[in-house]
Amino acid sequence: MKAMLLRKPAPVETNPLEYADVETPSPGSEEVLIKISKCGVCRTDLHIVEGELPPVKLPLIPGHQVIGRVVEVGRNVEGVRHGELVGVPWLYYACGECRYCRRGLENLCDHALFTGYSVNGGYAEYMVAHYRFIHKIPGELGELEAAPLMCAGAVGYRSLRLTGLLETGGVLGLFGYGAAAHLMLQTARKLGLRVYVFTSSPWKIEHALKNGAEWAGATSEEPPSKLDAAIVYAPVSQVFVEALRKLDKGGRVVLGEIYMTPVERLEYRLLWEEREVKTVANVTRRDVVEFLQIAVKHGIKPEVKTFRLEQANEALKELKHGRSLGQIVLEIS
Ligand SMILES: [Zn+2]
Ligand SMILES: [Zn+2]
């Protein structure tokens, strides 16, 4: 099969992914073989390809927002049929037995495997996946639009859930307005939250206001009121500190990125009065299932920009430097 292979992390400008012929994997007894039709391109892929996340497997096929059809089923697989449309998220496998899994924190499992990082992912024509960690894609969702929901949507939803605002309501600040924030603006509005968006580009401010933000402005500006919670989607510590500065007493900042520049200085008074900071790590099956239901119920749809499989280097460059707000998706078949 054809795949985009990473042999050694390097800046995307040097085209580190190689369009290669590799052996089609065969499913183990609890695995399915998936013929991939779409694979979303996520900022985490960029961090993996460029080496900000230390490599755990090389060579590697990246990609963890995979949509495709089941074409082969291992002998112990239950409840998955040949031909079914499924999605594979970042969480490829969790043990189900460690103390994190037993507490419902399978995203923190000691033995977790991650798609397109510790195992091969979806920048390819086929992949294998464990049958208990794939997700049936509802017929209401198009394949193209479903791909970004597997990570930008599901992990975005986990950050939204961890703000605590889904129980209490209130004012949410979104810092950084890219693909994930754009999806979470739609989701938060549909779930009844008031949303302020912080971004430096004038055209993004306009876009956010058109899409339901109650207020939008630069990160340095003062919003109309303090924030009950904030989600930071920029891997930049100064933005995180700005978010803390705008937080009301008892509020929480959720950091949605897997990587952030070092925090050079943090004054205690920004944290005092019971302000909290929480990071989001990975995703659970519950996050994916709940978010797919919400997306169907409320018609949440990403804007999508497509590239072919062999253009994955270009897709990553577009993600790194591009001006588009859309989710980037590789069209594979
Ligand atoms: Zn575990
Ligand atoms: Zn991702």
Provide the residues around ligand 2 (an ion) whose CB is within 5 A.
42, 44, 151
Render pLDDT for 157-177 as a digit per residue (tens, 0 to 9).
Answer: 999 999 999 999 999 999 999
Would you state the pLDDT for residue 322? 79
CA of 105 to the centre of ligand 1 (A): 8
CA of 281 to the centre of ligand 1 (A): 14
Mean pLDDT of 303-329: 92
Q: How many C-beta atoms lie closer than 10 Å to residue 103's C-beta?
A: 9
Ligand nearest to the CA of 96: 1
Query: Can you tell me which residue has the tokens 């037995």?
Result: 97
**Residues with Cβ within 8 Å of residue 155, at least 6 apart in sequence:** 90, 180, 256, 280, 282, 283, 287
Mean pLDDT of 117-126: 98
Cβ pair 302, 145 in contact under 8 A: yes
Ligand nearest to the CA of 109: 1
Ligand nearest to the CA of 65: 2
For residue 12, give the DSSP letter: G
Question: Can you tell me the distance from the alpha carbon of 164 to that of 4, in angstroms, rounded to the nearest whole number?
Answer: 39
Per-residue pLDDT at 324 exceeds 80: no
For residue 80, give the DSSP letter: -
Cβ pair 25, 120 in contact under 8 A: yes
CA of 97 to the centre of ligand 1 (A): 5
Render pLDDT for 184-228 as a digit per residue (tens, 0 to 9).
Answer: 999 999 999 999 999 989 999 999 999 999 999 999 999 999 999
- How many angstroms separate the first and last alpha carbons of the chain? 12
Question: Can you tell me the distance from the alpha carbon of 129 to that of 288, in angstroms, rounded to the nearest whole number?
Answer: 16
CA of 103 to the centre of ligand 1 (A): 9
Question: Can you tell me the distance from the alpha carbon of 215 to that of 232, in angstroms, rounded to the nearest whole number?
Answer: 16
The helix/strand/coil state of 198 is: strand
Q: How many C-beta atoms lie closer than 10 Å to residue 222's C-beta?
A: 9
Query: Side chain identity at 288, as an amino acid letter?
Result: V
CA of 104 to the centre of ligand 1 (A): 9
Domain ranges of the chain: 2-149+302-331, 154-279
Would you state the pLDDT for residue 285? 97
Cβ pair 232, 239 in contact under 8 A: yes
> What CATH class has 2-149+302-331?
alpha beta
Ligand nearest to the CA of 103: 1
Q: How confident is the model at residue 178 (pLDDT cuts 50, 70, 90)?
A: confident
Cβ pair 67, 147 in contact under 8 A: yes
Give the burial string for 229-252 (b: 16+ CB within 10 Å, else e).
Answer: bbbbbbbebebbbbbbebbbeebb
CA of 233 to the centre of ligand 1 (A): 27
CA of 280 to the centre of ligand 1 (A): 17
CA of 116 to the centre of ligand 2 (A): 10
Render pLDDT for 216-269 as a digit per residue (tens, 0 to 9).
Answer: 999 999 999 999 999 999 889 999 999 999 999 999 999 998 888 999 889 999
CATH 3.40.50.300 fits 154-279, yes or no: no
Mean pLDDT of 301-314: 95
Q: Which residues share a beta bridge with 31?
A: 130
Structure tokens at 13: 């400008």
| Residues of the chain above pLDDT 90, percent | 93
Helices 179-190, 152-162: inter-axial angle, 10-degree rounding: 50
**How many degrees, rounded to 5, is the angle at CA 66 between CA 63 and CA 69?**
140
